[in-house]
Structure 1
Amino acid sequence: AKWHDGKPITTDDVIWSFQVLKANSPMYSRYFENVTDAVAISDREVEFHFDQKGNRELPKILGDLVVLPKHWWEGTDANGKKRDITRPTQEPPLGSAAYKIASFKPGTEIIWQRVPDYWGAKLPVKIGRENFDRQRFSYFLDDNASWQAFTKGGFEDFRVESRAQRWAVEYTFPAIKAGDVIKAEYPTTSPEPMQAYVMNTRRPLFQDVRVRQALTYAYDFESMNRTIFFGAYTRTDSYFEGGDLASSGLPQGKELEILQQYRDKLPPELFTQEFKLPVYTTPQSGRENLRKAYDLFKQAGWVNRGGKLVNEKTGEPFRIEFLGNDPVDERVAGPLIDNLRRLGIDATLRIVDDSQYTNRTRAFDFDMLAVAGFQQSNSPGNEQRDFFSSTAADTSGSRNLAGIKNPIVDALIDRVIFATDRDDLIAATHALDRVLLWNYYMIPQWHLGKIRIAYWNKFGIPEKQPTYSGVDQNSWWIDPDKEKALAAKHKSGN
């Protein structure tokens, strides 16, 4: 293995990368919480030392360690200035992968060039992949502009479509009708992400679980799915949606044994009722759900006065600002906001640009996020600390956006991380999932179960695609005959 400058990747690079990432990255510091140090035991081997036994996932995480070139980062740039890995830079960093940066325009585009003597090209996992000589990524600040560019050709060769309405009714432009753009759906077998409205429980407004549950009862997924999403989606009802890690029914067996340890600190319903999200199937069920929401607000000390929901003691109005970074978030948050206003809540949506959104979420400066996603794997472990632990709740930039600080959740995270076998992992994950759900930290939204892709008909595509991820565009290649035919029909350069 070698860097793009021809120098070999050494054990010194591995050890230095581990030390730098653990010291400077909040995410890696949590992942490596149980790793004490790393030492070279030969020219090609590094040994990591753990302070606890039984963390079965940690060796795999260390196998995914991002290795950085120590000699380059400790060197100087073209102006003789010493590089600093903790600071932003516009100097393309040295890498070791199949592609390297050929050129870039900040905020506009970046072009990647395939490395002709890439050291890993003959590895079995690389054969048949990474077939493009150049890849150009153009950045659009507006999704509609990106969409229009795709329909004209020359900017996007393929597009992953996330909007159900667009997929259902807007793929009618001339290139589609001519067969020059192909629509395809690839089923996925991987766990579905928990996509949700996220309440910031650091704010006093959301610290009462009855308030969080009431807000959940105000969300009408069924009407949104029918009227906005063309019936495309399925309601998400687990943090580990899809597969055997999602909790269901009542706790039993080993999961019940785990939860019994915390019985006096958990909602009693957790043991006697199957967790169910409210369903809006008829006007009557809608009224019943909103009535249930109001009853919960009232129990938590909020009452309706003059059409406004206010604190029973102080008279303070109940206000929520949803935060989003895309105009599409208006469609996502709008129906829920309408129902909240019917309950007397002063609910609004603020759309900010990406940089503001990033800064505000890193600083946890929001009431509720209009959309946030939490992708899980079939082998949950250390990343759960970054998602849900008390430590992460106080760490800027962590993925614990909800601000969860719950000692039972912390204990269950450790139970997941130190699971002894697959059955133990499943039981512990079920328990964690159930406790998260019954605390109503988020309002679950929806998932699809497949990937929607449209592409200009210039590719060769292997018939078999990985079902776990749905599709692997790096296994595609340019078909010269198809590309030539497209170029003759569309002079935009596609």
Structure 2
Amino acid sequence: MYGAPALPPDFVSLPYANPDAPKGGRIVFGNTGGFDSLNPFVQKGTAPWQLRFWGYESLMGRSWDEPFTLYGLLAESIRTAPDRSWVEFTLRPEARFSDGSPVTVEDVIWSYETLGTQGHLRYRGFASQIQSIVQTGERSLKINFNTDDRELALIAGMRPILKKAQWQGVDFTASGLDNIPIGTGAYVISDFEAGRNVTLRRNPDYWAKELPFRRGTQNFDEMRIEFYGDGTVLFEAFKAGELTVMREFNAEKWDAQYGFPAVLRGDVIKSEIPHQRPSGMTGFVMNTRRAPFDDWRVREAMLLAFNFEYINDTVTGGAQPRITSYFSSSELAMQPGPATGKVLELLEPYADALLPGALEGYALPASDGTARNRGNLRRAVDLLAAAGWTVQNGELRNAQGTPFAFEVLLRQGDGGNQTVIEIYSRALSRLGIQVDVSTVDDAQYAARIDQYDFDMTTFRRELSLSPGNEQRLYWGSDGVDVPGTRNLMGVASGAVDGLIDRMLATDSREEFTAAVRALDRVLTTGRYVIPLWQYDVGRIAHARKLRFPEQLPIYGDRTGFLPDVWWYDED
């Protein structure tokens, strides 16, 4: 995207992979909930989230040490116009599906067209930006774009490639457990028990096992996912040795509850993985499609009533810092104080529509850390009154007499967030607000989220050092009324849309950074999410025989690290 790739054409392996890592062994993960599909590329059903990363590949692959660089994977070469208006890929002659059949240009074109029209919504936005796809040679194809967007040439290389012949006469959108997509990746599903477990085996004939991009990766012979009803049962299974690896997101639990016998014996190792990526956004999202959260003053009052300092101390021991904006802890984060320089220049055309704080500066409400949070609650009362909500007979009501009541939608097994909401609800009750908590299974949760059938729910968006077109999917105004997008809060902002456009069109790294910082300001001052704490370091407890390289990628523990560059060491 900017500059040149860091690795030379004759690189041996990715810098954070061990090219001499042994092959073999087994790794067992745990998920909460269940699954009713093994097709991760369609909107219907719930598939194990890991599947689209473990068994499927694209024309290009990402190095997690370089935010703006891709390397050839199924494609042996890439050509693109100086203005990025088109890109041409040439397939490697050795590229194969897991059944041994060759990957053809026809498979690639079919995959792009099918995913773009029938696949999961995350693939459809890119499809609308393609003017044409044409075969240009026995192993080459050219994609022409209809949009001025420099990132499209890279995104084009990241679509999963599936086998066209498998789906002739078969409804791709209806596939679930009965028809598992054939991919080109190193792993294939060898066994599963619906809703309970799924096992993948490494393909001994994997086509890319000697490719430098893959050297030292995909080292386990078997990878298995076990499913549990909730996080507590999952943790007990790990302590009992049923699982071999466990990610922990709570710093206090990491310190207090990982002293069980296997850790003391040294059979389980606690590893901490630093990273340089943005915080992303984790918290509770408010659906602005519905009253009362369509009023920014109400949303600010919700933030004021959320006693982060007290809740953080109660739940994590105060060990994890708060998320302060969507790109906090990175160079892309909005800067403190008033907007200046290029950021101000980018925001000024939208000044009349921006919410308070976007231009003059904004920081999340902070409490004194006590349980009562009186000062912030008083400010919340004033904002709610300005928005037309006053206490009448002990209940907060509007001018029409409608009580202020809302539902928090939680996924079954989400005990950690349930604890947070219980504390939060007690504070809201002091304002006269009634909170109802609904806990539903995975299928119901997914269906309600797809239809935006919620008032408030949990929210997590991981953000990268190279944000791009996915930002439209997350908070572009086109996703407000379309079911199934990731714009859960219902952002409909000309400033957001315009800043994403500027971010994607520029060929200047300086302007790109300014555009993201400006976008961060608009999203943060939109008061759409009540932020929680950062995952400032990755915490992984794992069996002693599981190892990883000493050199770590700048993204730390993210997709592309575990299990990709780990290995099993019997000794």
TM-score by length of 1: 0.91
Distance 1:317 1:442 in 2: 22
- Give the 3-state SS of the residue equivalent to 2:134 in structure 1: strand
Equivalent pair of 2:278/2:326 in contact (CA under 8 Å): no
What is residue 362 of structure 2 aligned with on the other side?
275
Distance 2:437 2:314 in 1: 21
Name the CA shift for 1:387/1:166 in 2 (closer, same or farther; >3 Å).
Answer: same
- Give the 3-state SS of the residue equivalent to 1:138 in structure 2: strand
Match of 1:135 among 217, 223, 233: 223
Match of 2:351 among 259, 263, 275: 263
Distance 1:173 1:269 in 2: 47
Equivalent pair of 2:309/2:369 in contact (CA under 8 Å): no
What is residue 58 of structure 2 aligned with on the other side?
none
Match of 1:58 among 142, 148, 152: 152
What is residue 429 of structure 2 aligned with on the other side?
341
Q: Give 1:216 deviation, angstroms.
A: 0.9
Code of the residue aligned with 2:132 in structure 1: it is D
- Give the 3-state SS of the residue equivalent to 2:235 in structure 1: helix
Match of 1:450 among 497, 521, 537: 537
> Structure 1, residues 437-485: CA drift from partner, whole Å, max 9, x if none?
222111121212111111121224322232312353332222223xxxx
Higher percent of residues as helix: 1
Matches within 5 A, 1:241-390: 241-249=328-336, 250-267=338-355, 269-272=357-360, 274-283=361-370, 286-311=373-398, 313-325=399-411, 326-369=414-457, 371-390=458-477
Matches within 5 A, 1:224-239: 224-239=311-326
Match of 2:232 among 144, 159, 165: 144
Match of 2:140 among 45, 68, 81: 45
Distance 1:243 1:315 in 2: 46
What is residue 212 of structure 2 aligned with on the other side?
124
Match of 2:110 among 16, 33, 38: 16
Equivalent pair of 2:113/2:127 in contact (CA under 8 Å): no
Is 1:480 matched up with 2:566?
A: no
Segment of structure 1 superposing worse, 276-285 or 163-172:
276-285
What is residue 305 of structure 2 aligned with on the other side?
218
Distance 1:461 1:427 in 2: 36
Q: Give 1:334 deviation, angstroms.
A: 1.8
> Structure 1, residues 390-442: CA drift from partner, whole Å, max 9, x if none?
11111111100001122222222222222232111111111111111222111
Segment of structure 1 superposing worse, 31-40 or 7-16:
31-40
Name the CA shift for 1:213/1:366 in 2 (closer, same or farther; >3 Å).
Answer: same
Equivalent pair of 2:310/2:370 in contact (CA under 8 Å): no
Distance 2:464 2:201 in 1: 31
Equivalent pair of 1:212/1:440 in contact (CA under 8 Å): yes
What is residue 489 of structure 1 aligned with on the other side?
none
Equivalent pair of 2:299/2:527 in contact (CA under 8 Å): yes
* Structure 2 unaligned spans of 5+: 1-94
Q: Structure 1: which 4+ aligned runs deviate by more than 6 Å?
A: none
> Structure 1, residues 272-294: CA drift from partner, whole Å, max 9, x if none?
2x211111125499211111111
Distance 1:101 1:284 in 2: 50
Q: Give 1:322 deviation, angstroms.
A: 0.8
Name the CA shift for 1:480/1:253 in 2 (closer, same or farther; >3 Å).
Answer: same
Q: Give 1:242 deviation, angstroms.
A: 2.4
Q: Give 1:348 deviation, angstroms.
A: 2.3
Equivalent pair of 1:191/1:241 in contact (CA under 8 Å): yes
Is 1:67 matched up with 2:161?
A: yes
Equivalent pair of 2:326/2:333 in contact (CA under 8 Å): yes
Match of 1:418 among 501, 505, 517: 505
Distance 1:355 1:164 in 2: 30
Code of the residue aligned with 2:470 in structure 1: it is E
Equivalent pair of 1:36/1:51 in contact (CA under 8 Å): yes
- Give the 3-state SS of the residue equivalent to 1:232 in structure 2: coil
Distance 2:191 2:142 in 1: 37
Q: Give 1:247 deviation, angstroms.
A: 0.6
Name the CA shift for 1:71/1:260 in 2 (closer, same or farther; >3 Å).
Answer: same
What is residue 95 of structure 1 aligned with on the other side?
183
What is residue 427 of structure 1 aligned with on the other side?
514
What is residue 101 of structure 2 aligned with on the other side?
7
Distance 1:454 1:444 in 2: 26
Is 1:408 matched up with 2:495?
A: yes
- Give the 3-state SS of the residue equivalent to 2:173 in structure 1: coil
TM-score by length of 2: 0.79
Distance 2:157 2:199 in 1: 28
Distance 2:181 2:492 in 1: 38
Name the CA shift for 1:16/1:389 in 2 (closer, same or farther; >3 Å).
Answer: same
Q: Give 1:177 deviation, angstroms.
A: 1.5
Equivalent pair of 1:458/1:480 in contact (CA under 8 Å): yes
Equivalent pair of 1:259/1:431 in contact (CA under 8 Å): yes
Equivalent pair of 2:249/2:535 in contact (CA under 8 Å): no
> Structure 1, residues 292-328: CA drift from partner, whole Å, max 9, x if none?
11100000000012221110x2111000111111232
- Give the 3-state SS of the residue equivalent to 2:174 in structure 1: coil
> Structure 1, residues 326-361: CA drift from partner, whole Å, max 9, x if none?
232211212221111111101122211111111111
Equivalent pair of 1:184/1:452 in contact (CA under 8 Å): yes
Equivalent pair of 1:419/1:428 in contact (CA under 8 Å): no
Equivalent pair of 2:161/2:184 in contact (CA under 8 Å): no
Code of the residue aligned with 2:348 in structure 1: it is Q
Distance 1:461 1:381 in 2: 30
Equivalent pair of 1:279/1:285 in contact (CA under 8 Å): no
* Structure 1 unaligned spans of 5+: 75-81, 482-494
Equivalent pair of 1:248/1:275 in contact (CA under 8 Å): no
Distance 2:562 2:442 in 1: 27
Distance 1:474 1:428 in 2: 33
Number of aligned pairs? Answer: 469
Equivalent pair of 2:284/2:529 in contact (CA under 8 Å): yes
Matches within 5 A, 1:76-225: 82-90=169-177, 91-153=179-241, 155-225=242-312
Distance 1:475 1:420 in 2: 33
Segment of structure 1 superposing worse, 223-232 or 160-169:
160-169
Distance 2:508 2:106 in 1: 34
Please give the root-mean-square deviation of Cα atoms over the aligned residues, in Å.
1.6
- Give the 3-state SS of the residue equivalent to 1:18 in structure 2: helix
- Give the 3-state SS of the residue equivalent to 1:41 in structure 2: strand
Distance 1:12 1:282 in 2: 61
